[in-house]
Structure formats: C-alpha cells, structure tokens
A and B are shown apart, each in its own frame.
Chain A
Amino acid sequence: MSAWISLFQRYWPDFLKGAGITLELTFVGLLIGFVLGLLLALGKVYGSTWLRRLCTGYIEVFRGTPLLVQLFLIYYGLPSLGITLDQSTAAYAALGLNSAAYQAEYLRGAIVAIGESQMIAGRSIGMSRWQTIFQIILPQALRLALPAWSNEPISLLKTTGVVFLIAVQDLMAKGKRAAAASYNPIGAYLAVAVVYLGLVFLLTLVLKWAERRTKIPGFEMETKSS
C-alpha cells in the first residue's frame, strides 16, 4: 500500500497531465460526434431515401468496426492517400467519427419519439419544416435523449484510452510509462484506474446536473402518456 502511495506521489503530475489530455480527447470527440451525429439523425429521420441510406450506412460501418481499426486507418492509412494527420488530430477524428454513429442513434430515437404531431403543430402556425425542427422538435428531443445519451460521454472517456497506441500522451500512455519506469505495473495501472474512476464520477455529476437543469415540469409525464 505504501509503495502504491509513493508511486502515486511520484507520478501524479504526469497522471494529471494525462488526465487533461484524456478530458480534451473526450470533449472534442464528443463535440464532433454530437454535431455529426445530429446531422446523421436528422438525415435519417427527415432525409430523402438516398440520404437516409447514406446515414444508415455510415452508422452501421462506424458501429460495426472496432475503433482501433478506424484509428489506425486514419493515422497510418490516410497518409498513403496523401492525407497526413498528426497524432492528436487523428485521435480527435477517429473518436469524433466513431462517437457520431452512437450519438446519432440516441438522438434519432428521441426525435422519432417526439413524433409527427409536434411537427404538425409547428407547421400549423406557419413555421417552415426547419424552423419547426429547430424550435420545436430538437429542444424536446434533446431533453428526452439526455438520460440515455449520458452513457456516451462516459463510455467515450474510457474509450479514449486506445489512442496511446498512436502515441498520444493521454492518461493511459502515462500509466504505461509509469508502469515501465517503476517496475510496478499493478500499482501504476491501479492508479490509472482510480484517476479514470474519478473523472467518470465528475462527469456523472455534470450530466446529472444538466438533466436537472433542463427538466420541464410535466414534460416527462406528457411524453410518456402520448
């Protein structure tokens, strides 16, 4: 136990730096994934036949292949097509593109659940289709999606660990270095696990807070009964 504490004491600035990178990866990946995922969800619900197919295809491919394969294709594969990305950019891209597929499904489910009747309501006062989507459907769908969608930031935060394989200096990479340098893999990886756990705990608090903040009186009841 004391060995473990001294390991922690020795490497905590390193872990802290790594945790910062991990949070950055999570945040950027989540943001890219959200924007792209929202477009995919809207395309899948409201798009023309070919657009729906395109979106479905994207989602199936990115959910159906390992993130690591996607990461290696982007980092090691793209240069042969003349596109060379640095490590962080490749990591952001892979995480974002991958997360988009999952987020699209959370958002699509919620948009479908809000239903066609709110669209009719919006159109009936003369709003256009897109106005109704942005003013009426999405504000409700995003609230509805939030509890299930909350899995994604948590899952993504842990998934970012794979990027150490292209030498991004995230928490996992720092842990690997500490393990090698201290000859104490159990201690090092346990320490990393504790930091991950702490990050997830903080993230969970933020998500719970967001859920409370966006709550609308009587809204859950309404969507359940209709």
Chain B
Amino acid sequence: MTEPILRIRNLTKKYADKVIFQHIDLEVKSGDTIVIIGPSGTGKSTLLRCINLLTRPNEGQIFLNGEEITAKGINEDHVRQRIGMVFQNFLLFNHLTALENVKLGLTKVRHMKAEEAEVKAISHLKRVGLSEHMDKYPGQLSGGQQQRVGIARALAMDPEIMLFDEPTSALDPELIGEVLEVMRDLSKSGMTMVVVTHEMGFAREVADSIIFMERGSIVEEGSPEELFEHAHFPRTREFLGKISELYGKKEKKGE
C-alpha cells in the first residue's frame, strides 16, 4: 500500500467557540479526484484553506506525500508551492496580463529564467484554451476565462495536488461548462484533485470518491455510484436529491 498523497488526521478548526469542522479524517490517493459536497457553511472551504495552510487548524495533522505540513517550524511558503489552489472568485492578479499572471510564480517563486518561464506559461495557457487571450488583463476577460487563467496559474507551478474551492459558483451558467471541461481533462490526465463543488454532473462523472460534509463533519464517503444510488444516510439522500434537482437540470441543459 503506497502512502496517500494527502492524509488528514483528526483535523479540527474553531474560531473562538464556533466549531467550523472537527475530527476530520481523509485520505487522497495519487491521481484521484475527490469531490466534497454539502450545504454551505459546513466548513468545506475552510478545510481546503487548512490543507493549503492559508488557515491554521487548531488540532490534527495534515501529511503531504508523507511529510507533516502542519508540523511546527515548517516553511509555509514551500508547502504552498507544492499545492495548487483555485478560488471561487478567481483571485487573479488584476494588474497583470493573463500571461504575466501565470509567469509570475515561475520567475519569482521557482526562479526560472524569463524566457523559460514564458514558454512554460504559454503552454499552460494553451492547455486551458486561452492562447488567444494571453495579453489581456483580468478586467478584459470573462469569468470563465479568468477562472481558466487561475487554473493555468496554479498548474504552472507543477503542484503535487490541486485544490478547487467552488470554482464555478461565481460564474454565469453558460460559462460553467468551459471550466468544468478543463477540470475534467485535468482529472483524466492523472492530476490529484480535491474539489468543493455543487456541480453534481461533474461529481458523478469525474470523482473517484465523493465526500458528503455537513455541520463540520464527514457524514458519508463513497464512490459516486454508492452515494447517488445507495447512500446510507437519509440526510445524504435528501441533500443529493435537492441539489441534483437544482443543479443537475441546469447542467443537462447546458450540454
């Protein structure tokens, strides 16, 4: 049994007295795509931010390829260089073109030569279908294009794992498809991904495993088939029913 690429042990996050999530255990195998679903306010996004050390958990441990990244004295910047993150609101660097957005980390963090970084950045922008928009600023791009730049920016750093925090929630319905397509390709290419989303069609098709979270705990985990067809808990069935009705139809229409 090989070491999972990401292992979370007994993770708890609280703000003052408010528990965001507690006693979370999770393992992600290399090349897998894990989709986390659940009602809003259940700590899904905070969990992703903990994995990326953008937020510090109160208790528990996180291991990345066997190394404990929650250990004291660890260099957070070095950890984040190994983890790609895609945000709900894209969070592109607004003063830089699409190309510069992708290039910056390569030159400033990876210390690549400018020409080398440019070649790499261009290839990643091509991969997400943006070769024609490389010189545009975020303000000149559609939401779907911005999010694809965000994905390219994270991918260019050659992360060991990619985290997606509701990557399509802020998008107009007709722009969701292009982003999901990029994510689908990425998953197929063997990238390890943890995705928080409400896109049930995507979860069903792409996920190796789906995790249903509610009120700060993992209620149920299983393959898409197990969860969609034979969920153990009534609460899981109820949530999936509601959300599939809401989002599933929209996605079908879009396709």
Binding site for B on A (CB under 8 A): 117-118, 120-128, 131, 135-136, 139-140, 143, 216-219, 221-223, 226
User: Other than the known A123-B80, A136-B95, what 14 A-B pairs have Cβ atoms closer than 8 Å?
Assistant: A118-B94, A120-B91, A121-B87, A121-B92, A123-B76, A124-B91, A125-B105, A126-B80, A126-B81, A140-B94, A218-B138, A219-B137, A222-B94, A226-B89
B137 touches A217 (CB 8 A): yes
B108 at the interface (CB under 8 A from A): yes
Query: Assuming A126-B77, A126-B109, A127-B109, is B95 touching A139 (CB within 8 A)?
Result: yes
A216 touches B91 (CB 8 A): no
Q: Kindly supply a per-residue 1/0 record for chain B positions 86-110, scoring 1 wherever the CB is within 8 Å of any chain A CB and 0 otherwise.
A: 0101011111000000001100110
Min CB distance, B30 to chain A, in Å?
21
A125 touches B138 (CB 8 A): no
**In whole angstroms, how far apart are the Cα atoms of A223 and B85 in the complex?**
22
Q: Tell me which of A117, A128, A140, A221 contacts B77 (CB under 8 A).
A: A128
Q: Tell me which of A125, A135, A136 contacts B80 (CB under 8 A).
A: A125
A127 touches B105 (CB 8 A): yes
Q: Kindly supply a per-residue 1/0 record for chain B positions 50-76, scoring 1 wherever the CB is within 8 Å of any chain A CB and 0 otherwise.
A: 001010000000000000000000001
If over half of A's interface residues share one DSSP class (helix, strand or loop), that class is named, otherwise mixed; here it is: helix
Q: Which residues of A contact B105 (CB under 8 A)?
A: 125-127
**In whole angstroms, how far apart are the Cα atoms of A219 and B109 in the complex?**
25
B91 touches A118 (CB 8 A): yes
B136 (CB) vs chain A CBs: closest residue: A217
Give the most central of B95, B138, B153: most A CB within 10 Å. Answer: B95
**In whole angstroms, how far apart are the Cα atoms of A123 and B157 in the complex?**
13
Binding site for A on B (CB under 8 A): 52, 54, 76-78, 80-82, 85, 87, 89, 91-95, 104-105, 108-109, 136-140, 153-154, 157
Query: Assuming A118-B93, A125-B105, A126-B105, is B139 touching A218 (CB within 8 A)?
Result: yes
A124 touches B93 (CB 8 A): no
Query: Assuming A117-B89, A217-B139, A219-B137, is B157 touching A125 (CB within 8 A)?
Result: yes
Query: Assuming A118-B94, A140-B95, A143-B95, is B81 touching A125 (CB within 8 A)?
Result: yes
List, sorted by A's number, 13 A–B pairs whose CB atoms are closer than 8 Å. A118-B93, A123-B77, A124-B87, A125-B81, A125-B104, A125-B105, A125-B154, A126-B82, A131-B108, A136-B95, A217-B140, A218-B140, A222-B94
Q: Tell me which of A122, A126, A217 contacts B93 (CB under 8 A).
A: A122
**In whole angstroms, how far apart are the Cα atoms of A223 and B139 in the complex?**
9
**In whole angstroms, how far apart are the Cα atoms of A128 and B109 in the complex?**
9
**In whole angstroms, how far apart are the Cα atoms of A80 and B67 in the complex?**
62
Min CB distance, B137 to chain A, in Å?
5
Q: Which residues of A contact B54 (CB under 8 A)?
A: 120, 123-124
B54 (CB) vs chain A CBs: closest residue: A120
Q: Which residues of A contact B154 (CB under 8 A)?
A: 124-125
**In whole angstroms, how far apart are the Cα atoms of A117 and B90 in the complex?**
10
Q: Which residues of B contact A127 (CB under 8 A)?
A: 77, 105, 108-109
